[in-house]
Amino acid sequence: MSGLPAEGRRRTVIENVTPQVDGGRFPAKQVVGDTLVVEADVFADGHDEVRARLSWRPPDNPAWQQQEMDPVGNDRWQASFRLGEVGRYEFFVSARVDHWRTWVHDLQKRVAAGQDVTVDLQIGAQIIAAAAERAADADHASVLTETAAQLTASTALAPGLTEIMDANPDLTWATSLDSPLAVVVDPVRARFSAWYELFPRSASPDPKRHGTFDDVINRLDYIAGLGFDVLYLPPISPIGRHFRKGPNNRESGTAADLGVPWAIGAPVGGHTAIHPQLGDLGGFDRLVHAARQRGIEVALDIAFQSSPDHPWVTDHPEWFRARPDGTVQYAENPPKKYQDIYPFDFEASDWRGLWQALNDVFRFWIGHGVNIFRVDNPHTKPFAFWEWCLNDIKADHPQVIFLAEAFTRPKVMYQLAKVGFSQSYTYFTWRNNAAEMQEYLEELTRPPVSDFFRPNFWPNTPDILHADLQTGGPAAFEARLVLAATLSSSYGIYGPVFELGESTARELGSEEYLNSEKYQQRTWDLTGGARLRGLIERVNGARRAHPALQTNERLLFHPADNPNLLAYSKNTANQRDVILTVVNFDYHATHSGVITIDLAALGLVDGAPYEAVDLLDDQTYTWIGPRAWVELDPTVRAAHVLWLRQLP
């Protein structure tokens, strides 16, 4: 006979294990302190009882821990375990036919029918005796041996016997997954964080003096007061001189032009050097320390590209693509040309050397206290590089968080998340009505996407001034802030540009800022923007105070009878913290409507009164039943953020 399996006596089937990403090719994502809920379809042929078991092990621990899974209906089984440390956990599901429980089940029916069970007890005794031989616990072995010798129907059906039998299962023909699945456990900031971006060169209060790290240190109390816990800095490396850009992206005409921070590298150094006008490495270390004292982590921008003046252009010309005329290929997005930036050639003959050098850049800054990196344009570098690099770094530094700045095709963005990026920029900026925002969030916050992809919402960036912010006035800034901060547990603003309501584009139809900080130093008068700044403080305070806003797991949309209104809630698993947000997408007109709230999903009692406390201004409303009327005048308020509480 040919084609027989190696073993044909394994009868249980395991299917549809969750969470898993691409059949286990990539790990799922959680944060420390989470409980990982694992489910699987487990069944066998015939009517025999089956049992399923979950096994898992923490990072750097070879010992497997085990727990029996519970049936939840329709051959679906579930178990869970707590993720108590950062790093990579492994887990798998195994299943077996349980001959003991099958025998007990049949014995109960035979006894109830009054049948002779003499032979059945002999069969049961054999099953118990075999368990006694397997038992590692001497007390278990003794009890099982004695029971097998004098088995009766009453002793066979005693609950205590089945408990001991469960502890000594027959795993001879157990089925298990071909290989373990994995979950990467990150620090809590990978899921819940509020980012504030600034250009250090613009931190100087004197427009005639280039900003320094000490100027940024002087800004930390202000940033902490707004409620942000991540300070994101664009590249701080030396800026190239050749083809340097001047204000509004024009070609530089004077040595006074500062250039673009993403044109990395000068004779004084490259990716691990400090731009001299910002200070030195000691100054950067002081900034990291001072920020951490205030509960703020410094996130550093890593852009894997160079200026024509980067030392690597001379030392490693093989890492760049040469043109037939002998020049180096600069960055292009035809018809746009970026002569001040050279991309690396990831198809270079010395690709291994290039990979290692880039890996070393991360490791250098980790050595100086940076645990969060915003990575520029990762979608223009190979997935294989990122999978190796990020996993290699996290193997040594599991606390490190990587944010992918990849505004590109959805499948590419998702692949970057799968290979190791902790968070990602999204299309949030371009979802500009209630219906498309709801559709997008339902994609991002539900499996399978939510198993591996963590969104980080930004109303604006140095590259993106959306048309809504250009024309929507203060209400647009307020609405987009509330949407970003309450729809996503991680969000950021490019400030102080955002909090001061900068809305002038470089030209009609452009998303570029006029007089953008990318090309020049700006000096900001932070005495302005009081209303928006007060809203930022309120929103960030609500996020810190309410655990419901610190995750995306239970985001639920509620129907509104006005298409300009978007209503959605978040709540904790125990339903003790419930937040309902309503946003007006028309920034120029008052809109009202009835929201139909799913009270049962939020743990509220239909027919009993409950309070809705607006966390933005402390106004309190009392509602009864699922239908609630709201009105939003954008000159007064663009949104409600309501804390719902059942009244006694």
Structure tokens at 186: 């990150």
Residue for token pair 């985001």: 555
Contact 102, 165 (CB under 8 A): no
* Structure-token pair, residue 412: 């590419």
Describe the chain by its helix, strand, coil percentages, rounded to 5: 30, 25, 40
Q: End-to-end CA distance of the chain: give it in Å, rounded.
A: 74
Burial letters 5-28, b for 16+ CB under 10 A, else e: eeeeebbbebeebbbbbeebebbb
User: 167, exposed or middle or buried, with CB in 10 Å at 0-12, 13-18, 19+?
Assistant: middle
**Catalytic option among 120, 297, 376, 577:** 376
Alpha helical stretches, state H, 135-258: 138-149, 153-156, 159-167, 213-226
How far, in Å, CA of 54 to CA of 351, rounded? 41
To the nearest 10 degrees (0 to 180), the angle between helices 138-149 and 118-134 is: 160
Please state, in angstroms and rounded to a whole number, the distance separating the CA atoms of residues 628 and 151. 65
Q: Which residues does 172 contact at the CB level (< 8 Å), separation at least 6?
A: none
Q: Which of 166, 159, 275, 265 is nearest to 216 (CA)?
A: 275
In whole angstroms, give the CA distance from residue 382 to residue 170.
47
| Angle subtended at Cα 374 by Cα 545 and Cα 183, rounded to the nearest 5 degrees | 70
Residue 496: asked if its preceding bond is cis (omega within 30°), the reply is yes
* CA–CA distance, 372 with 395 (Å, rounded to integer): 15
Residues 6+ apart with CB under 8 A from 159: none
In 3D space, the residue among 402, 370, 416 whose CA is nearest the CA of residue 272 turns out to be 370
Distance from C-alpha of 488 to C-alpha of 98, rounded to nearest angstrom: 45
Find residue 558's DSSP bridge partners. 567
405 is catalytic: yes
Query: 554: which 2 tokens?
Result: 């239970």
DSSP string covering 442-455 = HHHTSTTGGGT--B
CB 40 within 8 A of CB 88: no
276, 284 contact by CB (below 8 A): no
Among 215, 405, 499, 577, the active-site one is: 405
Alpha helices in 434-592 (DSSP H): 434-444, 467-471, 473-487, 530-545
- Cα torsion 483, 486, 490, 493: sign: positive
The C-alpha atoms of residue 50 and residue 27 are separated, in whole angstroms, by 28
218, HSE (Cβ side, Cα atoms, 13 Å): 10
Tokens 């007006």 sit on residue:
584
Backbone angles phi, psi at 201, to 5 degrees: -70, -20
> Which strand (E) or helix (H) includes residue 31?
strand 28-31
505 and 513 Cβ atoms separated by less than 8 Å: yes
Cite the active site residues. 376, 405
